[in-house]
Amino acid sequence: MPSTTPKRFRVIPQEQGMTLRNLLARRVRELDRESAGKLIRAGGVYVNKLRVRLPQVLVAPGERVTVHLDALAAEPLDPALLKFVHRDPDFVVLDKHAGVPVAATRETAVGCLSEALIHALATEGVSRPYVGVVHRLDRGASGLVLFTVRSVANKSLHKQFVEHSIRRGYRLRVQPNPGAGAPAAEIRCDAPLVKLREGGVEIAQPGASGAMSAVTHFRHVAEVPPLSGNGPSEHLLDAELETGRTHQIRAHAAHLGFPIVGDRRYGSASTDLHERLCLHAWTLEFAHPQTGAPLRFEAPLPDWAQVPAVYR
């Protein structure tokens, strides 16, 4: 469901010293004091560029307030639904459900994986739990996500990501564009990407300002029947990243003529019919942040990502 346009306004002199909750109840017709407080606690309100989650914060003239009413509809993620793949004193590996954001979105801080993990740790008796987001995974994708639960582990793990020594393997299901044919056994895509103002990325034109290097390795796994039950065959691919740009696998797959099934941003009219994005973070390999020991984790493949017995 697309987000509604945020509301923006500036605090006027007559409103100096008001609480943020009372200010919203005064200035936003959709809100009363109760709903304004709920919206603020959900992370849907910014003062200047800072997200504020305390309704009693006092405002000052000239401050710019941004309100995302979508946050009112956000539902917390039940910590009991977290799927732990591995737990360590320094970090946690979770298997993310499709449709769940890894961290707070622009509209709300409610319903994301990181906040649910904080609540889970607090429930276990951890005082002032810390959760660090090491890397992201598209909201529509599923699979492995790594978090630190001690700040001391951040430097080591972030360094591994910067140096590309952390290996991430993905399984995706694609439907070739008409005329594209079947994917080759192995494909290396190094098309640079550029961020778009409205979000997402696109393949950068030669010499484009802001172009970012991006390298994805694809390997053909199997040709499979379409999920919809009719139409042309689809294909399962495995992908490994050398770089970790926003939407990199999705943009590169579409650029090669093999958009991911269920991809409503980079896919085609035929590939976006499936109810979910067929992209799964399958494997994760990195060195332990304290001991340096090699670690490898796997997330079970969803049904759409498995090769039917008849095709093996």
Residues that are catalytic: 138
Partners of 172 in the beta sheet? Answer: 237, 279
Q: What's the rounded Cα separation, in Å, for the pair 119 and 131?
A: 10
Q: What's the rounded Cα separation, in Å, for the pair 76 and 254?
A: 33
Partners of 287 in the beta sheet? Answer: 294
Cβ–Cβ under 8 Å, residues 142 and 224: no
Cβ–Cβ under 8 Å, residues 103 and 116: no
User: Which residues, including other chains, have CB under 8 Å from residue 209's CB and lie 6 or more apart?
Assistant: 194
Structure tokens at 226: 């379409």
Cβ–Cβ under 8 Å, residues 39 and 69: yes
Among 294, 217, 283, residue whose Cα is nearest residue 249: 217
Cβ–Cβ under 8 Å, residues 184 and 208: no
Structure tokens at 302: 């969803």
Among 3, 14, 97, 2, residue whose Cα is nearest residue 44: 3
